[in-house]
């Protein structure tokens, strides 16, 4: 009978779920101090994530705990983290407790779902801001703060949809001769301007949002407001992602659950490349120039992963000059295997298509002054490097454009080598017939 009762109690059911949830609520309420709270916070990561990835068995339970206003679990975690600055704990205890809190916050921030009926993400800005105001020796802070910032951004998702739809209706009303009330729109934009994110608007819009009069017709003002909001929503995830990659590159060890963080920070691939081009190139420069001294070290392989992730975001609609930082990476990275992994993707096709215009106009961002006299040679060297690697690119008309661009720059030993290498690559790409 005891065995039967035990099996019945463990059977998955609505009753069991309710019972487990009540037990968790009772447990949190009964905790007397931080010493009792810490093991519970430490368990959050293991409950939500396992060795093989996400576990959704108890997601609803954690969600209910976090959204229970009587428990204030999020505030308790922040209090536990702040206790590390009390001066009352030993260094070992401080380090362990900080890591516990940051791992729990990372797991909580990962509770983001693109499904329409999913619970709203959690606003973690207060604790994120506190984390940024302190300097930690642990790597945990980097991935935790990025995901916390992304979770906070996602809390604005519903408001973004509502405001966008409202603006569309305002545009219709304006065309009908009415004067729509744009106060709800400017109030939302004030939240963005005063929030944790970089929100860029022109001077006219800035003054209008803060209550100044404007001579711009409302029929012209509405699309400018809509473009500013849409631009913010399209580019801000990229800025968070690039900041995460920049932080990752500067560390002495790979981050915990690095790939899980990358996949959780969802990017909108419909965002025009021009919206985040400058941020991407700036991050590439910072990573490649700043970490060039250890790019070929065997124990820092994650630097290649960072660079490759940045390259995958380089997807211009038309061929444009290649950033100089990428030229330097191609020239200085010694591992053919690493470059094959990069060039065998769709990025390799875009890179190949961009060499002709890069040879004619130079890299999109000029190199440091010490290298300025040899820019053309550097581009040729990177082209030779790409053509010399043993991988099978998809040949297009781009190689004809490259030949023409090389010829226009005159002759040199390097240009002869590049011409020969590309011809050899083209020859190997042709179908071979066996001779009987």
Domain layout of the chain by residue ranges? 13-137, 156-268, 272-429
Residues in the chain: 436
Going from the C-alpha of 267 to that of each of 54, 182, 214, 223, 264, the distances in angstroms are 19, 29, 35, 24, 9
Hey, what are 379's tokens?
């581009």
Going from the C-alpha of 435 to that of each of 136, 432, the distances in angstroms are 68, 9
pLDDT given at position 390: 73
151 vs 52: which has the higher pLDDT: 151
- Give the pLDDT band (50/70/90) at residue 95: confident
pLDDT tens digits, one per residue of 344-382 = 888 998 998 999 999 998 898 766 665 555 788 899 999
Around Cβ 227, how many Cβ atoms within 10 Å? Answer: 12
- Give the pLDDT band (50/70/90) at residue 3: very low
Please state, in angstroms and rounded to a whole number, the distance separating the CA atoms of residues 224 and 220. Answer: 7
Contacts of 71 (CB under 8 A, 6+ apart): 25, 28, 29, 65
Long-range contacts formed by 229-234: CB under 8 A, 24+ apart: 229/160, 229/163, 229/164, 229/167, 229/185, 229/188, 229/189, 229/192, 230/164, 231/200, 231/275, 232/192, 232/197, 232/199, 232/200, 233/160, 233/268, 234/268, 234/270, 234/271, 234/272, 234/275, 234/276
432 vs 108: which has the higher pLDDT: 108
Q: Which of 6, 266, 252 is nearest to 121 (CA)?
A: 266
Q: Which of 321, 257, 216, 209 is nearest to 102 (CA)?
A: 257
pLDDT given at position 435: 44
pTM (2 decimals)?
0.86
Around Cβ 261, how many Cβ atoms within 10 Å? Answer: 22
Going from the C-alpha of 406 to that of each of 324, 363, 374, the distances in angstroms are 18, 15, 15
The position carrying tokens 């990275």 is 333
pLDDT tens digits, one per residue of 286-335 = 999 999 888 888 777 788 999 999 999 999 999 999 999 999 999 999 99
Q: Which of 5-19, 50-64, 323-337 has the highest mean pLDDT?
A: 323-337
pLDDT given at position 429: 64
CB of 337 closer than 8 Å to CB of 300: no
Contacts of 253 (CB under 8 A, 6+ apart): 139
b/e burial code for range 275-297 (CB count within 10 A of at least 16 → b): bbbebbbebbbbbbeebeeebee
Going from the C-alpha of 374 to that of each of 333, 379, 380, the distances in angstroms are 18, 9, 10
Q: Which of 304, 240, 245 is nearest to 267 (CA)?
A: 240
**53-54/49-50 β-pairing:** antiparallel
395 pLDDT more than 80:
no
399 pLDDT more than 80:
no
Going from the C-alpha of 274 to that of each of 173, 233, 271, 280, 352, the distances in angstroms are 31, 14, 8, 10, 20
Contacts of 364 (CB under 8 A, 6+ apart): 281, 320, 321, 322, 323, 324, 358
Share of the chain above pLDDT 70, in %: 87
Going from the C-alpha of 260 to that of each of 238, 252, 257, 393, the distances in angstroms are 16, 19, 5, 30
143 pLDDT more than 70:
no
DSSP string, 148-216: HHHHHHHTTHHHHHHHHHHHHHHHHHHHTT-----HHHHHHHHHHHTSSS-----HHHHHHHTT----S
pLDDT tens digits, one per residue of 259-295 = 888 888 878 788 899 999 999 999 999 999 999 888 8
- Give the pLDDT band (50/70/90) at residue 12: low
CB of 429 closer than 8 Å to CB of 395: yes
Q: Quote the Cα angle for 99-105-110, to 5°.
A: 130
């Amino acid at each position: 009978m005891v065995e039967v009762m035990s099996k019945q109690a463990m059977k998955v059911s609505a009753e069991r779920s309710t019972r487990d949830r009540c037990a968790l609520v009772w447990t949190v309420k009964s905790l007397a101090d931080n010493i009792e709270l810490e093991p519970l916070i430490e368990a959050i990561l293991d409950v939500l994530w396992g060795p093989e990835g996400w576990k959704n068995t108890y997601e609803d339970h954690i969600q209910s705990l976090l959204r229970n206003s009587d428990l204030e679990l999020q505030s308790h975690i922040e209090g536990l983290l702040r206790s590390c600055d009390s001066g009352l704990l030993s260094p070992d205890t401080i380090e362990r407790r900080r890591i516990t809190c940051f791992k729990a916050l990372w797991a909580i921030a990962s509770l983001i779902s693109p499904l329409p009926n999913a619970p709203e993400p959690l606003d973690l800005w207060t604790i994120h801001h506190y984390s940024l105001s302190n300097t930690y020796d642990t790597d945990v802070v980097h991935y935790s703060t990025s995901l916390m910032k992304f979770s906070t951004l996602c809390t604005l998702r519903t408001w973004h949809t509502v405001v966008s739809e409202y603006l569309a209706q305002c545009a219709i009303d304006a065309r009908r001769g009415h004067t729509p009330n744009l106060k709800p729109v400017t109030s939302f934009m004030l939240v963005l301007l005063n929030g944790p994110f970089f929100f860029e608007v022109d001077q006219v819009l800035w003054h209008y949002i803060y209550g100044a009069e404007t001579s711009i017709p409302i029929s012209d003002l509405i699309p400018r407001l809509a473009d500013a909001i849409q631009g913010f929503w399209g580019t801000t995830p990229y800025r968070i992602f690039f900041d995460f990659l920049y932080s990752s590159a500067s560390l002495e060890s790979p981050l915990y659950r690095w790939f899980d963080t990358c996949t959780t920070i969802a990017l909108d691939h419909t965002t025009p490349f021009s919206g985040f081009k400058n941020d991407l190139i700036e991050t590439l420069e910072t990573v490649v120039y700043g970490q060039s001294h250890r790019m070929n070290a065997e124990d820092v392989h994650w630097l290649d992963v960072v660079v490759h992730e940045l390259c995958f975001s380089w997807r211009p609609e038309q061929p444009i000059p290649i950033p100089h930082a990428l030229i330097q990476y191609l020239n200085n990275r010694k591992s053919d295997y690493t470059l094959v992994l990069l060039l065998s993707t769709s990025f390799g096709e875009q890179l190949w298509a961009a060499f002709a215009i890069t040879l004619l106009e130079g890299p999109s961002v000029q190199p440091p002054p010490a290298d300025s006299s040899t820019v053309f040679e550097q581009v040729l060297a990177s082209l030779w490097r790409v053509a010399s690697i043993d991988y099978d690119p998809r040949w297009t008309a781009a190689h004809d454009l490259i030949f023409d661009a090389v010829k226009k720059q005159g002759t040199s030993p390097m240009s002869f080598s590049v011409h020969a290498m590309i011809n050899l690559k083209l020859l190997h790409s042709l179908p071979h017939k066996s001779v009987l």
